[in-house]
Amino acid sequence: MLTHAQVWSAIDRLAARAGLSASGLARRAGLDPTTFNKSKRITAAGRARWPSTESISKALAATGTSIEAFVGLIQGAGTPARGVPLLGFAEAGAGGYFDDGGFPAGTGWDEIAFPGVDDTHAYALEVSGQSMEPAYRDGDVILVSPAAPIRRGDRVVVKTRDGEVMAKELKRSTAKSIELKSLNAQHPDRTIATEDVLWVARILWASQ
Global confidence as pTM: 0.62
pLDDT of 80 above 80? no
The domain 4-74 is placed in CATH, from the list 1.20.200.10, 1.10.260.40, 2.40.37.10, 1.10.3720.10, at 1.10.260.40
Give the start-to-end residue ranges of the domains of the chain.
4-74, 81-206
Contact criterion met (CB below 8 Å) for 152 and 32: no
pLDDT at 159: 93
> 84-109: per-residue pLDDT in tens?
899 988 888 887 888 888 888 888 88
The CATH class for the domain spanning 81-206 reads: mainly beta
Higher pLDDT, 72 or 82: 72
Give the CA distances from residue 178 to residues 21, 48, 50, 102, 159, in Å, rounded to whole numbers and listed in that order: 31, 51, 49, 17, 12
Contact 206, 140 (CB under 8 A): yes
Q: How far apart are CA 32 and CA 8, in angstroms?
A: 17
| Same CATH fold assignment for domains 4-74 and 81-206 | no
pLDDT of residue 39: 86
List pLDDT tens digits, range 161-171: 988 999 999 99
